[in-house]
Structure 1
Amino acid sequence: MTFLVISILAGCLSVMTVRGRQGNWPSGMPVARPRLVAAGGTYTGSRGRPSDAYVIQERLVAAAHGAGGEPAHTAAALALGAVVAARPQYQEDLDECAQIAHRAVRTATLRSGSAHDLVSTMDVVVLDPGESPSLRFAHVGNGAIWHCAKGGEPRPLTTSHSFDDGPLLRALGLPSALNPEVGAVPLRPGDRVVIVSDGAIRALGAARMKELLSYGASPGACLDRLYDEMAAAEPKNDATVIIADYVTA
C-alpha cells in the first residue's frame, strides 16, 4: 500500500507548477515578484522503466532519478516528497534538506525488508530573492546543475558522483552517511539555471547540451529543441530536463 501511495505521489510531483491568477490589479500594486519561470519534462526511455520525477514551484526546482529496476520511480518519488515537505525555500540549510530526503529513502528500504536498496539521486535549487538574490543548490548523484549568466555560456555548478558511468558513490538511501554537494551563486535578472538527469546527458552529450541550453529563447522553446534531439537519440533511460529563468517583472 505504501508503494502504491508513493507512485501516485510521483505522478503528482511531475506536474506541479505555479499558476498565476488573472484579474484586475489595483493601481500601484506590483504585478510580479522575483521568481523562477521554468519548463521541465521527462523524456521516457526506451526501456520503459520509469525512474525520474521532478517538481517545479515558484522558488523551488528539484529532480530525482531512482537507480535500479522496478523500485526506481518509488525512490525518486520518496526523495522529492521529502524535499517538498522540508520546505527548503524557508530554511537556510540545504544540507539538512538532503539528509531528510536520505533518511526517507533509507527508511523505506529498511521497512520493506527488500534485499535491494532504494537509491535515488537528487538535485535541488532554491531561489533566495532578498536584497542580494542568490540561488542555493544541493546535489547528490550523477545528474547536473548548470548556471548560465545572461549573455554567457552555461557553467557547471556540480560534479558527478560516479566515474565512467560506474556505480553511484553518493546517493540517497545508501547505507553510508550522506555528504551532499551544496553551494550558492549570485543571480541577476535573465540568468538561467538548468537541472538535467544523467539520462539526458548520456543521450545528447554534455557539449551538445550546453550548446542547446545557450539558446536564448524561453525555457519552453529551449526544452522543445532538446526534446527534438532526444527523439532522434532515443535514450534508453528516462531523461529529465528543467530549465528555469530568473525574472523580476
Structure 2
Amino acid sequence: MTRPLIELRWGSATSAGGRSTNEDSLLAQDDVFVVADGMGGHDAGEVASATAVEVLRSLVGRRPGADEVRDALVEANARIRALPAGPGRRPGTTVTGVVLSSHESTPCWIVLNVGDSRTYRMVGAVLEQVTRDHSEVAELVADGLVRPDDAPYHPWRHVVTRALGGGSADVEPDVDIIAVSPGDRMVVCSDGLTDIVPDARIEADLKAEPDPQAAADRLVATALAAGATDNVTVLVVDAPAVLPAS
C-alpha cells in the first residue's frame, strides 16, 4: 500500500535550567518525537526518562498504529518499574510526543501522553494544547475548584497523577490520532518550559522563528531568561508539505 509522503523538519534544545543535572530525555528521529521528564531523585529520574525513550525508539520507521504506541508505553512502564529503587521515590517519568503514521492513506499524528509534559499544535498561527495534563491542579481546574489563571501558582502544580514507573503497576496513557495538515507545527516540551512561559509567549516565539531549530533554541532561551528552576526541553516539528503518494 502506498503512503502519503510527509517532509518533516525539526529542531530540539534542552537545558538543565536551575538544576545541577538534566533528567529530561528526548527522541527526535525520522517519525518519532518524544520528551520524557524523569523524577525520583539522584540519577533515578535520568535513568527512567532514558529508559522510556529507548523503548519508544523501537517505533522509529514503523509507522505504527495507536495500539502499538500504547503497547510500547505499557512496556516502558514495566521496564521502569523493574529499575532498582534507591532512597526516596521510585524512578518514574512523564512522556509526551507525536508519532507520524497514516490511517486509511491519510497522514496522521499519533499523540501520546502520560503526565504533565505537553504537546501543542500550531496551525494557522494559532497554538493549541493537544494533550491533557495528568496532574492534581488540572483535575482541580476541570472540577471548577481552581481558576485556570491560578493554576500556574498553585502549590500542587507539580503533583502528577499519572507517570511511567513510580508506584503503580498499571499505566493509562492517552493515545489520540489527529490528521496532519500542511503547515502543522508540533511542539513537544517538558514542564520546565510551560511552568514559567505562558502559552501566549510560546506562540509568539514560534511565530518569530520559521526555522524549527531556531524556534526550539528560542523557547529554551526564553525559559532560562524568565528564571527557569527546572530542566527545560523542547522539540519543534514542522510538516510544511504533504506530498502525493508515490
TM-score, with length taken from structure 1: 0.79
From 70, 79, 85, the equivalent of 1:95 is 70
Q: 2:165 matched to which residue of 1?
A: 173
Whether contact under 8 Å (2:63, 2:101) holds in the other structure is no
Aligned length: 214
Work out whether 1:114 is the aligned partner of 2:86.
yes
Deviation for aligned residue 1:189: 2.0
Q: Is the 8 A contact 1:89 1:127 kept in 2?
A: no
**Structure 1 residues 224 and 187 mapped into 2: Cα distance closer, same or farther (>3 Å)?**
same
139-148 or 166-175, which deviates more: 166-175
Residue 54 (structure 2) pairs with residue 54 (structure 1): no
Cα offset, 1:48, TM superposition: 1.0
Give the SS at the match of 1:84.
helix
Asked if the contact 1:199/1:239 (under 8 Å) is kept, the reply is yes
Residue of structure 1 aligned with 2:98, choices 117, 125, 140: 125
Paired residue secondary structure (1:158): coil
TM-superposition CA deviations, 1:119-158 (whole Å, max 9, x none): 1001131112573111111100111111112x23011111
**Matched residues in 2 for 1:181 and 1:161: separation?**
10
Residues 1:152 and 2:125 aligned together: yes
Name the CA distance, whole Å, in 1 between partners of 2:197 and 2:173: 26
Which structure 2 residues correspond to residues 1-249 of structure 1 after superposition, within 5 A? 33-70=5-42, 71-87=44-60, 89-92=62-65, 93=67, 94-108=69-83, 112-115=84-87, 116-129=89-102, 131-149=105-123, 151-162=124-135, 163=137, 164-176=156-168, 177-215=170-208, 217-248=210-241
Cα distance per residue 1:34-92 (max 9 Å; x no partner)? 13211011122222122101011111101100013212111110111111135484431
Find the aligned partners of 1:95 and 1:119 in 2 and give their Cα distance: 17
Structure 2 segments unaligned to the other structure (5+ residues): 138-155
CA distance in 1, matches of 2:182, 2:119: 18
Does the Cα contact within 8 Å between 1:98 and 1:180 map onto a contact in 2?
Answer: yes
Counterparts of 1:129 and 1:180, CA distance in 2: 20
Percent identical pairs in the alignment equals: 26
Superposition RMSD on alpha carbons, in Å?
2.1
User: What is the TM-score with the length of structure 2 in the denominator?
Assistant: 0.79
For residues 205-233 of structure 1, give each alpha carbon's deviation from its aligned partner in whole angstroms, at most 9, with x where no partner exists. Answer: 33322332344611122223223322312
Contact 2:32–2:59 under 8 Å retained in 1:
no
Shift >4 Å, 4+ stretches: none
- Quickly say closer, same or farther: Cα 1:208–1:215, change in 2 above 3 A: same
The answer as to whether partners of 1:66 and 1:120 remain within 8 angstroms in 2 is: yes
